[in-house]
Amino acid sequence: MAQRVDRRHYGWMASSAVTVVWAAVILGADLGGRVLDNWEAAVTMLFGSFLAGSSPEGGGAVAFPVFTKLLEVPGPVARTFGLSIQAVGMTVASISILASRRPFHRRAVVVGSVAGIAGFGLTVALFGQPDLVFWPSSIGSPWVKATFSIVLATTSITMLLHLRHGDDDHEPLAWNRRLDWGVAAVAVLGGGLASLTGTGANIIVFLFLVAIADVLPKTALPTVVMIMAVISVAGVVLFGVLDRQLDVGLLGDRVVSVGGVATDLDAGKADLLGLWLAAIPVVAWGAPLGSFAASLIRESSLARFVALLAAIEVATTFLLVHELRTERWLILYTIAGLVITPTALLSARRHRRRLFT
């Protein structure tokens, strides 16, 4: 028992290490003022970081809607912020999962991570605009927000379905190559969504594992946390390092350069480095704390928590995205998605043994 307790300390040691490095950078580079100027990011991630470790939505599921709907941060900035902050929080949470020996699906982690990165890169290659600052997508922001809400609405329905079964009434499918291909297919879609919003692969793979493979949420959750950690790190390497989006130059209250390219943006909405630095110590502790909390609660309580969070995000999308009340095609797309996507998932669940055995 003592050995188990000692192993659990490794996760908190990782949080401490991240905090020490962060403090050294802030003090050494005199970035304290920049952190204070972006306090909204830290406040947002107080809840988002806990969510990153305790639910399949991840911290990006809080950062993206709050930043884009309430704080009016451009979508590409919110996306890269979500990836950057999850690269810290979900990596620390993954270390905590491994240290505490929480059960997770190893094959799904490997397959989902590789396929998710492939989907991420493919979507960026097809729809990305690398010649513009922050590498935005040619897909309009309202369409991205609507798609994200459709996925979360499906999550809520799936969790409510799970509650009907009870904690012990489950018959997981024997894992096979068809399930590997299923995880790969949904991870490609999830990686594509993550390239637009900063999160997504964790949510979509979670839906597949719970609704189709009938994996218990308490096993599926750490699995998708680890998948999203890998994809987030890959996203930061692409956007933050190679595209130099974390190299943000300020002059007063304006962003005057990103990656060495001259620009003129509101620092309160586009200082990606400042937003990231402000949130790092919060997520370093919040994500593993959320993961630990999720390991203690009942399956039914976790399912209710996930369903409620998903429903709240969908409701705020309809309230705050103006285009969902004015653009006919976007309205039709959203309504169709809210009907077709959950229906297709439920149909696949009913026929899962014929499809995946």
pLDDT at 62 exceeding the cut of 50: yes
Task: Enter the tokens of residue 167.
Answer: 């904690």
4-22 burial, b if ≥16 CB within 10 A, otherwise e?
A: eeeebeebbebbeebeeeb
Give the whole-angstrom CA distance, residue 172 versus residue 301. Answer: 20
Half-sphere exposure (CA, 13 Å, Cβ side) for 6?
Answer: 3
Length of the chain: 357
CB atoms near residue 146 (< 10 Å): 25
Residue with tokens 């699995």, as numbered in its chain: 223
Contacts of 338 (CB under 8 A, 6+ apart): 150, 153
Total of domains in the chain: 1
299 or 219, higher pLDDT: 219
**Structure confidence at residue 3 (pLDDT):** 47
Residue 116 belongs to domain spanning: 2-356
Least confident of 72-76, 175-179, 287-291: 287-291
**pLDDT band at residue 2 using 50, 70 and 90 as cut-offs:** very low
**Structure confidence at residue 298 (pLDDT):** 67
61 or 232, higher pLDDT: 232
Contact in structure between 42 and 282 (CB atoms under 8 Å): yes
H helix runs in 263-327, sequence order: 267-270, 272-296, 299-320
**Structure confidence at residue 111 (pLDDT):** 96
State the average pLDDT over residues 156-171: 63
Quote the mean pLDDT of the chain. 84
pLDDT in tens, 200-237: 899 899 989 988 888 888 888 889 989 999 999 999 99
- pTM, 2 dp: 0.85
Give the whole-angstrom CA distance, residue 3 versus residue 14. Answer: 18
**Structure confidence at residue 5 (pLDDT):** 47
pLDDT at 306 exceeding the cut of 70: no
